[in-house]
Structure 1
Amino acid sequence: MTEEEILAEFRASKALLEGHFLLSSGRHSAHYLQCARVLMDPMRAGRLATAMVAKIPRELRNAIDVVVSPAMGGVIIGHEAGRALDKVAMFLERPEGTFHLRRGFALEPGQKVLMVEDVVTTGQSSREAMKAIAEEGGETIAAASLVDRSGGEVSFDVPFFPLIGFNFPSYAEDELPAELAEIEAIKPGSRKN
């Protein structure tokens, strides 16, 4: 899938929003990628996941035992990545603020995990997810995401394979440009803490 084809999928689903958004990372942005919209069409979600998984080198793909995603945003793309890899997909939840496997999900000791996110900005949620995977007995050997909006700045202790990078500026509360500060911020994501 070319970058233009990927962008066409986002445009067609009206997944790129403009305004003033408070991101789950705590930063502010004039742009928000509503990946739930781009993933609401199962055929589109499957195409995007297949293209994302194709970016992972074959040797690494072959080593993956299971796909694990943080809820909520990573659930659909993680499931579709599992389908593309023909591997089991499960998700982590944080009902009390810390990620854990629930619903009968469990990792076998030493299972090789692909951790899949929808959007990575600072990498905070991904790192928390990888820590939980280790605590659950798995070994994260790679991370993937639908979108990297870090400008290529995020890094993990494992290889990272985003489908596409969007480099929209984000700002700390005390760095807001005047035009953004004049607009009331909304928090469209699923993470409320």
Structure 2
Amino acid sequence: MHEDNVRNIFEKTGAMLSGHFRLTSGRHSDRYFQCALVLQHPEYCGRLCRELARRFSGEGVETVIGPAMGGILVAYEVARELGVRSIFTERENGVMTLRRGFSIRPGEKVLVVEDVITTGGSVLEVIDVVRKAGGIVAGVGVLVNRSGGADLGVRTESLMNVPAVSYDPEQCPLCREGVPVVKPGSRQV
């Protein structure tokens, strides 16, 4: 699937937002990707996740994992395409962890997925969870990579690369202009 096709899906569903946003990292940006607006459509979710799965087929992936909230549907659909199980991590007392009886056995080959990354912080936390459990990280697959090339230390595949301009809140020109800031994501900072 070509990146233009991915961009078209995001535009068609209204998932590429413009305004003044506080990102999960705490940084501010004039652009936000509300992937839930894409993932609410099973046809689009399936097409995008099928492409991520295709990029990792033949790699011996045994489990697909994603962080709650954004990575849950992506992990499920990619796992379905690969014919393997799907699990997710959650924050407990601010720390990314496996809950709900999920586990990773030593040596298990795990693919980490996410809907969108900006700094890569949540994905790095999930990678750490996998490694601490003794799992082997097969790579990272993301729908939208707005990090500008963050090094996650493993093979990373993204369906759409959109370098994002982001600011420390203290240097944010939108704040200086008095534009109200919105926090549309699942995690409040």
TM-score (norm: length of structure 2)? 0.94
1:1-193 aligned at under 5 Å gives the runs 1-56=1-56, 58=57, 61-151=58-148, 153-178=149-174, 181-193=177-189
1:106 Cα deviation from its structure 2 partner? 1.1
Provide structure 1 residue ranges, at least 5 long, that are not aligned to the other structure: none
- Describe the superposition over 1:76-121 as per-residue Cα deviations: whole angstroms up to 9, x where unpaired: 1111111121111100011311111111211111101100011111
Identity of matched residues, %: 39
CA distance in 1, matches of 2:39, 2:180: 27
What do residues 169-190 of structure 1 show as CA deviations (whole Å, max 9, x unaligned)?
1111122125774211111111
**Structure 1 contact 101–136 (Cα < 8 Å) conserved:** no
Over residues 15-36 of structure 1, what are the superposed CA-to-partner deviations in whole Å (9 max), with x where a residue is unaligned? 1111100000111111100001
Change (3 A) 1:179 1:102: closer
Q: Cα 1:67–1:28, aligned 2, differ >3 Å: closer, same or farther?
A: same
Q: What's the Cα RMSD here? A: 1.5
- Provide the TM-score with structure 1 as the length reference: 0.92
Whole-Å Cα distance in 2 between the matches of residues 80 and 137 of structure 1? 24
